[in-house]
A and B are shown apart, each in its own frame.
Chain A
Amino acid sequence: MLAIQLAITGLQTGALYALTAVGFSLIFGSTRIFHFAHGATFVIAAYFFYGVFGAGLGLLPSIAAAGLGAVAFGVLLDRLVYAPIQRHEGSFFTVFVASFGVGIVVQNLIGMVFGRGFVTVNTPLSRSVEMIPGVYVSPLAWIAILCTAIFLGALQFFLRRTHTGMALRALADNPELVRTFGLNPRMIAATAFAVGSVLVVPAAIITSATTGLNPAIGHHVMLISLAATIVGGIGSVSGTMLAGLLLGLAESLALLVVDSQWTEAVTFAILFAFIIIRPAGLLGRATAH
Chain B
Amino acid sequence: MEAYIFNLVNLIAIYAILAVTLNFIMGYAGIYSLAHAVFFGLGAYTSAWVAQNVHPSILLTIPAAMMAAAALSLLLALPALRVRGEYFVAASLGLQVLAVTIFSEWKSFTGGIGGVLAIPPANVFGIEVFKPAHFAILSVVALVIVMALINALVHSSFGRNLRAIHDSESAAASFGKNVPMIKTISVVISAALAAVAGALYASYLSFINVESFTLDASVLVMAMVIIGGTGTVAGPIVGAALLMLLPSLISWFDFLPQTEIGALQQIIYGLGMTLLMIFRPGGIVGRRAKA
- Asked whether any CB of chain B lies closer than 8 Å to the CB of A150, the reply is no
Q: Which residues of A contact B78 (CB under 8 A)?
A: 276
The answer to whether A227 and B266 touch across the interface, beta carbons within 8 angstroms, is no
Category for how many chain A residues contact B: 35 or more
Within 8 Å CB of A108, what residues of B?
Answer: 263-264, 266-267, 270
Complex contacts, B222 vs chain A, CB 8 Å: 97
Smallest beta-carbon distance A106→chain B, Å: 8
User: Which of B97-105, B116-124, B143-151, B191-199 is the contact stretch?
Assistant: B97-105
Query: Interface with B: A123-131, A242-250, A263-271, which one?
Result: A263-271
B97 proximity list for chain A (CB < 8 A): 223, 264-265, 267-268
Q: Does B155 have its Cβ within 8 Å of any Cβ on chain A?
A: no
Determine the distance from Cα of A276 to Cα of B74 in the docked complex, in whole angstroms: 13
Is the CB of A272 closer than 8 A to any CB of chain B?
yes
For the complex, give the distance between the alpha carbons of A227 and B87 in Å. 10
Q: Which residues of the partner chain B approach A96 to less than 8 Å between Cβ atoms? A: 86, 89
Closest chain B residue, CB of each to CB of A234: B86
Shortest beta-carbon distance from A268 to chain B in Å: 4
Q: Give Cα distance in the complex from A262 to B101, angstroms.
A: 7
B281 touches A94 (CB 8 A): yes
Given A101-B274, A108-B266: A289 and B90 interface contact (C-beta under 8 Å): no
**Interface residues of chain B: helix, strand, loop or mixed (majority):** helix
B94 touches A269 (CB 8 A): yes
Provide the bound-state CA to CA distance between A279 and B86, in Å.
11
In the assembled complex, B85 has its CB within 8 A of some CB on chain A: yes
- C-alpha spacing A81/B98, complex, angstroms: 32
Using Cβ atoms and an 8 Å threshold, which residues of chain A touch B264?
Answer: 108
Distance of B215 from chain A, by nearest CB (Å)? 8
Q: Complex formed: what's the CA distance from A288 to B80 in Å? A: 11
Residues of A contacting B266 in the complex (Cβ-Cβ under 8 angstroms)? 104-105, 107-108
Does B83 sit at the interface, judged by CB under 8 A? yes
Cβ of A196 within 8 Å of any chain B Cβ, yes or no, is no
A111 within 8 A of B: yes
> For the complex, what is the distance from the CA of A118 to the CA of B79, rounded to whole Å?
36
Q: A288 to B101, Cβ gap below 8 A?
A: no
The answer to whether B79 touches A275, judged by C-beta atoms less than 8 angstroms apart, is yes
Chain A minimum-CB-distance residue to B273: A101
Q: Which residues of A contact B (CB under 8 A)?
A: 28, 34, 81, 84-85, 88-89, 91-105, 107-109, 111-112, 116, 219, 223, 226-227, 230, 234, 261-262, 264-265, 267-269, 271-272, 275-276, 279, 288-289
Other than the given A91-B281, A93-B32, 9 more pairs (CB < 8 A) read: A91-B290, A97-B222, A97-B226, A112-B260, A112-B263, A268-B95, A269-B98, A272-B91, A279-B83
**Pairs A-B, 9 closest by C-beta atoms:** A104-B270, A101-B273, A101-B274, A98-B277, A272-B94, A265-B101, A288-B83, A105-B270, A268-B94
Q: List 26 A-B contacts (CB under 8 A).
A: A28-B86, A88-B281, A89-B289, A91-B290, A92-B86, A94-B281, A95-B277, A97-B226, A99-B274, A100-B219, A100-B273, A101-B272, A102-B270, A104-B269, A108-B264, A111-B263, A223-B93, A223-B97, A226-B93, A261-B104, A262-B105, A265-B102, A268-B94, A271-B91, A272-B95, A275-B82
